[in-house]
A = this chain, B = another copy of it.
Amino acid sequence: MKLYTYFRSSAAFRVRIALNLKDIRYQSVYVNLKPGQDEQYQEEYRHLNPEARVPFLVDNDVHLSQSTAILEYLEEQYPNPHLLPGTVKARATVRQIVNLIACDIHPLNNLSVLEKLKQNFSASQEACDVWYRDWVERGFAPLEALLAQHAGTFCFGDEVTMADLYLIPQVWNAHRFSVNMGPFPTISRIYRHCLTLPAFEAAMPERQDDNPNR
């Protein structure tokens, strides 16, 4: 199995955690998304993945982009340990948390979006940071309410689910942009707990071989 990845990509971070939890061996192929490097736009990579993003998974004849599609695929193909709970209702809540982060927070704060704000609106770095923090806070407020209802030691009860794979990268990213985490005690508590687990810790940007500050 091959994972095309970039250390700082939240979406690749999610998949790295899943592969670690499921104890699947894989080869990392590094795609440098840093503005100015832009390896995702190189002909060879675009040929493989016309979306020009990471993560991208190659597993035999399955070639797959989109972290959520990749995670649902891994869950079906390599079900142990399960990352979705056992009842229809519980799975629905986990996917609600997943999509709140995957659709309402993360896409607005992607590197490509911040770059476009600078291009189209001459946005300063400070204005980009305000934009970033606003979307995170607007998403974390209802997320905190949802987790206060459903969380145990993890987002949903006391076992790891797919929801944790979305939360941890998003919080890691929020710290990077100095989001005030004071109003989000449940989110912060789950974050601290997850990072004590080797599968999460080994997936962190700080631990990736393509991190230049490593």
Contacts and interface: CB of A to CB of B under 8 A. Distances in A.
Interface of A: 49-53, 61-62, 64-70, 72-73, 76-77, 88-89, 91-93, 95-96, 98-100, 102-104, 106-108, 113, 116-117, 120-121, 123, 127, 130-131, 134, 141-142, 145-146
Given A51-B100, A120-B131, A142-B50, A95 B72 contact: yes
A108 B108 contact: yes
Given A104-B51, A120-B131, A142-B50, A88 B73 contact: yes
Given A106-B103, A120-B130, A120-B131, A142 B73 contact: no
Contacts of A92: 62, 64, 69-70, 72-73, 76
Contacts of A66: 95-96, 99-100, 103
DSSP class of A's interface residues: helix, strand, loop or mixed? Answer: helix
Contacts of A88: 73, 76-77
A95 B62 CA distance: 13
* Protomer copies: 2
A61 B100 CA distance: 20
Given A100-B51, A145-B50, A95 B120 contact: no
A49 B95 CA distance: 16
Contacts of A123: 121
A98 to B, nearest CB: 7
Contacts of A98: 69
Contacts of A72: 91-92, 95
A106 B106 CA distance: 12
Nearest to A131: B120
A69 B50 contact: no
Rank and list the top 6 A-B pairs by shortest CB-CB distance, nearest first: A50-B142, A69-B95, A66-B99, A107-B107, A121-B121, A73-B92
A61 B142 CA distance: 19
Given A51-B142, A69-B92, A69-B95, 16 more contacts: A50-B142, A51-B100, A62-B89, A64-B93, A65-B100, A66-B96, A66-B103, A68-B68, A69-B93, A70-B92, A102-B102, A104-B107, A107-B107, A108-B113, A120-B127, A120-B130
